[in-house]
Amino acid sequence: MPIVVDVDVMLARRKMSVGTLAERVGITPANLAVLKNGRAKAVRFTTLAALCEVLECQPGDLLRWEPDAEQEAPDPA
């Protein structure tokens, strides 16, 4: 998936555990792990806003776009 989730990067920068973040945001550690590991299909804006508030960051610090390998390959024409 071309959307990469960098929650783990912000957790390391803030020296915060997954459990602490999940508790402060109000989601389960399991759901946070799904998001953190890039397995989530969607994220609610309320959850994103809570993550940004707790981690004191912007949405762009948590999410970024990277093209798929197929999208990067030049056209062989």
State the total domains in the chain.
1
The confidence score (pLDDT) of residue 24 equals 97
- The confidence score (pLDDT) of residue 8 equals 94
Contact 5, 40 (CB under 8 A): yes
Q: At 11, which CATH number?
A: 1.10.260.40
pTM reported for the whole predicted model: 0.84
Per-residue pLDDT of the chain (77 residues; tens, 9 = 90+): 689 999 999 999 999 999 999 999 999 999 999 999 989 999 999 999 999 999 999 999 999 999 987 655 555 66
Domain that holds residue 37: 3-62
Task: State the number of CA atoms in the 13 A half-sphere of 22 facing the CB.
Answer: 14
> Is the CB of residue 41 less than 8 Å from the CB of residue 31?
no
Residue 22 forms part of a structural domain: yes
DSSP H or E run through 8: helix 7-14
Closest CA to 24 of 54, 47, 48: 54
Largest CA distance in the chain: 53
pLDDT at position 77: 61
